[in-house]
Amino acid sequence: MELAIDRFIEAVASPQYPNMHNPWRDSCETEVREGGEVLRKQRLKQHLMASRPRLLIIGEAAGYQGCRYSGVAFTSERLLMERAIPRMDGLDGYRITDRNKPWSEPSATIVWGALHDHRLADDTIMFNAIPWHPEGRGGIHSNRTPTPAERAEGTRYLQMLVDIYPEIQIAALGNTASNTLTDLGIEHVKLRHPANGGATLFRNGLASLSAAMTEKARGLKS
């Protein structure tokens, strides 16, 4: 599995598109240290190297408050500094940006909080249907909806990732992720994205999914 993960990371770190920041290839003028892209690749690998992966959560695209600097989907610099992210030994306490406060992404806080509540954090992997950060009209620190062409570019990387974990339960956060998985013929559960007032529906959906996963695991053991 490690070799497949290494190949995946090298593949996803290679593309370069206009108005699209590749966290594992590109540095950023707000970074305080050189080699931020290398650190993000290391973090991504440790995140993907779950010892018993049970749940793969797919979002829409990398965001400027989260993956752009952390290198891990739905993961902010603040959560890394707080050591709230599993499998980050030796990599979680490093600041990359010169911002007064570490970047904090509300959706990331909600997602990881719920995963810890249901004891799924150690066994969950997260990625995005569009791996890179689509920069919005506000520049590097803004987001925008990915174009259909950008969404199409992301599909082969998403398929590569899913192929690494053939038995894993897959969940999509929001319409873009769900539609992309559907287009690829990948079975999944759709959860409400926690943004824009969706936090409670997301938590309820994850609770139901966690219960279903637990019931399924019991059935396999009996």
Q: Does domain 2-221 bear CATH number 3.30.70.3040? A: no
Read off the pLDDT of residues 101-139 as tens digits, 9 standing for 90 and up.
Answer: 999 999 999 999 999 999 999 999 999 999 999 999 999
What is the pLDDT at residue 29?
77
Helix (H) or strand (E) holding 22: none
What is the pLDDT at residue 216?
82
Contacts of 68 (CB under 8 A, 6+ apart): 21, 23, 28, 62, 133, 140
Q: Chain centroid to CA 170: how far?
A: 13
59 closest CA partner among 181, 168, 206, 149: 181
The pTM of the full predicted model, rounded to 2 decimals, is 0.94
Read off the pLDDT of residues 180-190 as tens digits, 9 standing for 90 and up.
Answer: 999 999 999 99
Read off the pLDDT of residues 130-176 as tens digits, 9 standing for 90 and up.
Answer: 999 999 999 999 999 999 999 999 999 999 999 999 999 999 999 99
